[in-house]
Amino acid sequence: MLLTLAWSALFFPGLFALCTWGLRRARPAWSDWLCAMVGTRLVSSVHAVLATGSGIIVICSCENVMYGSHWLAREYVWFLVPYMVYDTYAMYLCEWYRISDQSHRHFLTVFQNFLSKNRLMITHHGVILFILVPVTQLKQQHTLLYKVNGILTLTTFFFCRILLFPFMYWSFGQEKGLSFFQVPLHIPFACNVANAFLIAPQLYWFSLLCKKAVRLFDTPAAKKG
């Protein structure tokens, strides 16, 4: 755990520093803000590739997706923590450079703009760092906090990954004066096929989450009965 934290704490800031240094040399005309912004995007892309690759390895290695365990899944949680801290600082640094390009650098001004423009991402990082990571590591499935976390996960997944698709169809229908059921007939067939391919895995993953939730709330008394 500590070794993973240490490597991650060195890897992401080091990669960011390397990217910004290389961009300044390759693009001398670019401002500090632009170099920092592009560097942040590059590091985020690397993290996305690592996260995706880790997920694929874990899924392919576990015979049972719900009950299986893999060391990479546990270790990646600790690899994620320094990234979240780094990413928050990198966003602040980008805002600092942006304000400085306008010759109006002041800590309070920069901090207020940073909070105003990145409140959603800051909330996202904060929830992961201070709620999801501790709950995941505690592994106390029968505590109230763990159950509340499970309910929030189910709710957000349902609204953001399942209802998103019918909402898109409904919004299009409202704009074009069509009913919800008429929309599929008035958009390209390829769009319907693409949406079907996109929502299919979401429904599958949601079903797994629901099964896990049922198992989580299935009390010992109910099992005996």
Percent of the chain with pLDDT over 90: 15
Distances (CA, A) of 166 to 170, 178, 184, 190, 223: 6, 14, 11, 16, 37
43-82 per-position pLDDT tens digit? 988 988 888 888 778 777 877 654 567 788 778 888 888 8
Longest dimension (CA), the chain: 73
User: Which one of 92, 111, 139 terminates a domain?
Assistant: 139
Q: Whose CA is closest to 87, among 13, 31, 1?
A: 13
- Are residues 139 and 69 in contact, defined by beta-carbon separation less than 8 angstroms? no
pLDDT of residue 106: 66
Residues 188 and 131 in one domain: no
Q: What is the pLDDT of residues 119-163, one digit of tens each?
A: 766 776 677 666 666 666 655 556 666 677 677 778 877 887 788
Expressed as residue numbers, the domain containing 222 is 140-225
Whether 173 and 134 map to the same domain: the answer is no
Same domain for 31 and 91, yes or no, is yes
Contact 90, 40 (CB under 8 A): yes
CA angle in degrees (0–180, nearest 5) for 160-162-164? 60
Q: Count up the domains in the chain and report the number.
A: 2
**In terms of domains, do 110 and 221 share one?**
no
Percent of all residues in the chain with a pLDDT value above 70, rounded to a whole number = 77
